[in-house]
Chains A and B, each alone.
Chain A
Amino acid sequence: MRLKIKGGHVVCPCNGIDRPMDLLVKDGLIAACGEDAAREESADRVIDAAGMHILPGLMDMHVHLREPGEEYKESIETGTLAAARGGFTDIACMPNTKLVNDNPSVTAYILEKARQAAHCRVHPVCAITPGLCGKGLCELGLMASAGAVAASDDGKSVADAGLMRRALEYAATFNLPVLCHCEDLSLCEGGVMHEGRVATAMGLAGIPSASEWLIVERDIALAHITGAKVHICHVSTRQSVEAIRHAKARGIPVTAETAPHYFTLTHRAVAGYNTFAKVNPPLREPADVDAIIEGLADGTLDVIATDHAPHSPTEKAVEFDLAAFGMVGLETAIPLALALAHKKILTLMQLAEKMTKNPRSILNIDSPGIRVGAPADITILDINRKVKVTPKAFASKSKNTPFGGMELTGAVAATIFGGRMVFDAL
């Protein structure tokens, strides 16, 4: 299959390309770029990409695939299909499945299932502690050999600072970055939303901002004393952004991600006890949203990841206190992120960095980008296309999004993975 992509504007942070360029895809690889591609006449399909943007395949480094164990919420098949529809050719999946990814056989199972599904590449993240119990260390060396790209007890923090220090040192031995879910549980007993005026008025127990940034500060301190790489997951508070900015200025090896809901929504989204807006960390205040946007703009926040967290009605169509935390994100990430470009907060190049190059570089995954000889992992964006978020149409098994019905601007037009069109809305 020879595929010619004509007239698109290539935005590739890996090779510093930001200009119109034709591409030729052949045998799963990018066979030609620019003039060479333009001259090629014998394509099986020619995509007219005039007015569209061509990015290296996106990567989401924070996804919950729910398999093995909770396939009624999501499976590797449906989750990776949702990723393809969202423009992602690579995703990293968190280990907090019902059957925890805390041993090499689960890692191997995930990789095999993902290979069969073949909608995108899946990079398993393994647990730090067995069963995510916060005690002892997983066999990180064996897990790394089995294909794990990072270690995380995502869903909770490793509460014991001494153990976390050892985990950072041990993981660094095998070149595994540690992804930190920052939350001091003792500060948010029973909390279900951001602590503040909205929680008080609604009679809901609060999760204070400090429960996050206290652990962000702790993990920065641990990165400082160990020299090991620390990556802060789903940043939601102003103070966390400030702490990370300060740490980076001092040369501490810390990177960070945030998710579209943290730069789009505030705690007011839970009005009416909307359980689709119940997420951990919780949606915060307008000042936090502003700080996150600022952190994205100045590079303090390296990555936009979704924290895609599928849940069925059994977990969501219940009392707010009892509802599970989390929202799906793979299929809404691009339109929400593009809002930042439309508002001129990020250039498309900066956006592409945060969704292609940076997550791969943090996880030590090769990112050849758009160049001759590279695997043909390509995402085509139509940044001005009007879309209405329609959860029913999601490939994900779960529909728990607070963005349902919203009119957004910007869409994934096509996703090419290994030279195959895995999603086509051209």
Chain B
Amino acid sequence: MELPGKDLLDMESLSRDHISRILDTAETLREISERPIKKVPILRGKTIVLFFHEPSTRTKTSFDVAAKRLSADTHSLSQSTSSLTKGETLEDTAKTLEAMHPDAIVIRHSCSGAPHQIARLVKSSVINAGDGLHAHPTQALLDLLTVRRRKGRIEGINISIVGDIAHSRVARSDIAAFSKMGATVTICGPRTMIPAGITQLGCSVIHNADKAVEGADVVMMLRIQKERLKSALMASERDYAVHFGLNSRRMRLAADDAIIMHPGPLNRGVEIAPDVADGPNSVILEQVENGVAVRMAVLYMLLGGKPHAPEN
């Protein structure tokens, strides 16, 4: 089963079946990372351009590692090393990218929709590595994989996402992904951080963090950015930490075997207390590991491989 279209741009365009296949493929490919020689030749000769228009060492490294484990060649193009500057149209950008004859272009962009716009202008596959406030599909896929591995299922799971939903592409993609897979999604944050009409993506809203965490199987905390103080989305980090941060008391309200997730990087002491972040329920490092696996799966499925049957 192939993915729909040449690109992976958001979770909305994937069906439940597609998502399951990606996760199954990731599960199979995950084992490669545990071998002494962590490389298979299935994407040998393929060229992947990593076009990161805003800095993100973590996601970029994850894609780079994933591509290399499959023997693809990667080239980095960042805003600073490329000639792509202000005043260029997206067609100019697309031409510059296509000139490298890539099989896939992995795009991180500060503007929502930029990967979609570029995808329409290029022949190669475009993988959205995070666009503005809009979507971060491979993050959602790795979150799904993490929950599925830990809980054995996604259907029927209660997941609570706490933080600045309005400014989070991770939240948007996770809400779409988990609700599509049959989980019950609750989002939580001060009213300033909950955007209009968010429930249409498939979630309910609670403004009290204790209530949101209560009985949850999965608690996902989002990074709180200091800049939000300037736009008056919160009064202080202290006020936020007390009312919305995850501490050990609040965590006890969750289900006994609840897991704690965070897309990183952490703001210890703000959205998450250090002892909770490092505690036994935390699966934050597993998320990183699973990130490489789902990105391998996505590259493999988009660039012509058959799922489930990687050569050894």
**Residue A200 CB within 8 A of the other chain:** yes
Contact of B133 among A203, A272, A318, A322 (CB under 8 A): A203
Q: Mark B70-92, 1 if CB is under 8 A from A, else 0.
A: 00000000000000000111110
* Given A319-B111, A319-B114, A203 and B91 contact (CB-CB distance below 8 Å): no
Establish whether residues B111 and A201, one from each chain, have CB atoms under 8 Å apart when the complex forms: no
Chain A residues touching B, range: 20 to 34
CA distance A313 to B121 in the complex (A): 14
Q: Chain A residues near B195 (CB, 8 Å)?
A: 199-200, 206
B201 at the interface (CB under 8 A from A): yes
Instruction: Indicate whether B132 reaches chain A with its CB closer than 8 angstroms.
Output: yes
The interface stretch among A189-197, A299-307, A364-372 is A189-197
Q: Indicate which residue in B87, B135, B197, B231 contacts A203 across the interface (CB closer than 8 Å).
A: B135
**Contact partner of B89 among A195, A196, A197, A313, CB < 8 A?**
A313
Give 1 or 0 for each of B246-290: 1 = CB within 8 Å of chain A CB: 000000000000000000000000000000000000000000000
Question: Does any Cβ of A come within 8 Å of B7's Cβ?
Answer: no
Q: Closest chain A residue to B200 by CB distance?
A: A197
B117 interface contact, C-beta 8 A: yes
* B131 in the interface (beta carbon within 8 A): yes
Chain B stretch 122-141: residues in CB contact (< 8 A) with chain A = 131-135
Residue in A201, A205, A317 whose beta carbon sits within 8 Å of that of B200 in the complex: A201
The interface residues of chain A, by DSSP majority, are classed as loop
Task: Report how far A199 CA is from B117 CA in the complex, Å.
Answer: 16
Q: Which 10 residue pairs spanning A and B have beta carbons closest together?
A: A203-B134, A197-B197, A273-B113, A319-B111, A203-B133, A203-B112, A317-B89, A321-B111, A200-B195, A319-B114
Known A203-B169, A314-B87; judge A320-B113 contact (CB<8 A): yes
Assuming the A-B contacts A203-B172, A206-B196, are A320 and B89 also in contact, with contact meaning beta carbons closer than 8 angstroms in the complex? no
| A202 in the interface (beta carbon within 8 A) | yes
Decide if A196 touches B113 in the complex (CB within 8 Å): no
Our count of residue pairs bridging A and B at CB distance below 8 angstroms stands at 72
Closest residue on chain B to residue A203 by CB atoms: B134
- Cβ of B223 within 8 Å of any chain A Cβ, yes or no, is no
A273 to B116, CA, bound (A): 8
The answer to whether A189 and B172 touch across the interface, beta carbons within 8 angstroms, is no
CB pair A318 B90 closer than 8 Å: yes
Contact (Cβ within 8 A) A200 B196: yes
A319–B117 contact, CB under 8 A?
Answer: yes
B109 at the A/B interface (Cβ < 8 Å)? Answer: yes
8 new A-B contacts at CB < 8 Å, known A200-B200, A203-B112, A318-B90? A196-B197, A198-B197, A202-B134, A204-B133, A273-B112, A273-B117, A313-B89, A321-B112
Question: Mask for B175-210, Cβ within 8 A of A = 1, else 0?
Answer: 000000000000000000001111011000000000
Q: Pick the contact of B91 from A200, A204, A317, A322 — CB < 8 Å?
A: A317
Contacts of B197 in A (CB 8 A): 196-198, 200-201
Q: How far is the CA of A420 from the CA of B211 in the complex (A)?
A: 74
Asked if residues B111 and A189 are in contact (CB atoms below 8 Å), the reply is no
How many angstroms between the C-alpha atoms of A272 and B89 in the bound complex? 17
Beta-carbon contact of B132 and A203 below 8 Å? yes
CB distance from A219 to the nearest CB of B (A): 26
Are the CB atoms of A317 and B201 closer together than 8 Å?
A: no
The CA of A359 and the CA of B15, in the complex, are separated in Å by 52
Partner of A322, one of B111, B116, B198: B111
Query: Which residues of chain B are near A314, meaning CB under 8 Å?
Result: 87, 89
Q: Give complex CA distance A195, B194 in Å.
A: 12
When the two chains form their complex, are residues B196 and A204 in contact, meaning their CB atoms are under 8 A apart? Answer: no
In the complex with contacts A195-B196, A196-B197, A321-B132, A204-B113 CB distance below 8 A: yes
Is A202 a contact of B90 with CB atoms below 8 Å? no
User: B133: nearest residue on chain A (CB-CB)?
Assistant: A203
Contacts of A321 in B (CB 8 A): 110-112, 132
Chain B residue at minimum C-beta to C-beta distance from A314: B89
Closest to A321 in B: B111
Nearest-neighbor residue (CB-CB) of A190 within chain B: B231
Contact of A201 with B89 in the complex, beta carbons under 8 Å? no
**Separation in Å of the B262 CB from the closest CB of chain A?**
20
Q: How far is the CB of B301 from chain A (nearest CB, A)?
A: 24
Residue of B nearest to A195 (CB): B196
Contact A205 B90 (CB under 8 A): no
With a cutoff of 8 Å between Cβ atoms, the chain A residues found around residue B110 in the complex are 321
Minimum CB–CB distance from A274 to chain B (whole Å) comes to 9
